[in-house]
Chain A
Amino acid sequence: MADLAGGALSIAATLLAYALARRLAERTGSALVNPVLVAVAVLVAALRLLHVDYAAYDHGARWVGWLLGPAVVALGIPLAAQMDEIARRGRSILLSIVAGSAAGIAAAAGTAALLGGSRRVVLSLVPRAVTTPIALGIAERIGGIPSLSAALVIGTGVVGAVVGPVLLRALGITSRTAWGLAMGASSHGVGTARAAEEGEVEGASAGLAIGLMGVATALLAPVAAWVLEFAIGPR
């Protein structure tokens, strides 16, 4: 019974924090006030203040997270609606994503190694370039910490949802497919949620980018791990 009440409470707290964060984002109109970022910050602060551990919170809140599955499936709807537009650009999309995947792995793992990261941290950063469920599998295979990789994917996505639109505007990106692809490829689910707010072409491109990025990184990650063996030595 206490379990059930606690579960309902953490769901209610999650919805409340998100609703407040969303209202704040609308009120300020600032890219820095990302609803996910604000809601997460508020909830982490509240849990720490009240000495509630993550497991107790997650017990109820994971039902909110569970809706991510149907939401990802729903990305197939704009994708189907925009298919003709996307198919015409098929070759350029594949090329951009493969280049982006390679650049992302090299930059993340390379920078972490140069800054003195431990072996497990560097290897956990290799699959950071893909969406959470795929990252778990890749990290396990090459010797990183799976749950750290997953957490870093979300963390990067939250930062990307804030920084991405600002940077893309500064770069003069006007193509809606290029905008969506860049957001989905760099910031995954959180970036795709941001892109879906922008428009249907952006949302469809971002959803597609997650899938393609997942395949490209799954294929490139073992190569990256092999190169890192030489760079930072075997375990």
Chain B
Amino acid sequence: MRDVRSMLVCVKGAAAIGACLALGEAAARWLRLPLPGNLVGMLLMTAALRLRLLRMETVRPLGDWLLRNMALFFVPAGVGLMRYFGLLRAEWLPIVGGCVAGLLAVLLVVGPLQQRLEAGGAADG
């Protein structure tokens, strides 16, 4: 009986996540939003949970599984880098230099700035 119930939770969770994703994709396309559909789906999921249209217990089990394994889902795209080995060979210095400089700039600005604003900003927000 418990197995049946936990399976039902997973099915309901999959339906809820799938519905948010489909609605997000449709909204991003039809409203021509500057955001990808999956991010719109993320915002829909947040809104549905906050407005109590969905219950946390319904989406938690499957959601936690997806988040725990999120790194895996990037592997095929990462392998896709092999298509650019030619261009990377020809212009590796500006490409790698630019990427690393951009990465470090964002880390160096966002981390310390946010921490400082939080420390100084009891009146924040």
Using A67-B66, A70-B66, A108-B101 as known contacts, say yes or no to A103 and B109 having CB atoms under 8 A apart.
yes
A220 CB, min distance to chain B CBs, angstroms: 12
Contacts of A35 in B (CB 8 A): 71-72
Q: Are B118 and A154 in contact (CB under 8 A)?
A: no
Q: In the complex, what distance in Å separates the CA atom of A83 from the CA atom of B97? A: 37
Contacts of A171 in B (CB 8 A): 108, 111-112
Q: Are B68 and A76 in contact (CB under 8 A)?
A: no
Contacts of A8 in B (CB 8 A): none
**A-B contacts, 13 listed (Cβ < 8 Å):** A81-B49, A91-B121, A100-B105, A103-B106, A106-B105, A107-B101, A117-B98, A156-B102, A158-B78, A175-B119, A186-B107, A193-B67, A219-B34
B74 CB, min distance to chain A CBs, angstroms: 5
Q: Are A43 and B79 in contact (CB under 8 A)?
A: yes
Residue A228, interface by CB 8 Å: no
Interface of B is mostly: helix
Interface size class of A (residues with CB under 8 A): 35 or more
Q: Are A211 and B43 in contact (CB under 8 A)?
A: yes
B28 CB, min distance to chain A CBs, angstroms: 9
Chain B residue, CB-CB nearest to A95: B117
Residue A110, interface by CB 8 Å: yes
Q: Are A76 and B45 in contact (CB under 8 A)?
A: yes
Q: In the complex, what distance in Å separates the CA atom of A109 from the CA atom of B110? A: 18
Q: Are B34 and A65 in contact (CB under 8 A)?
A: no
Contacts of B73 in A (CB 8 A): 64-68, 71
B51 CB, min distance to chain A CBs, angstroms: 10
B44 CB, min distance to chain A CBs, angstroms: 7
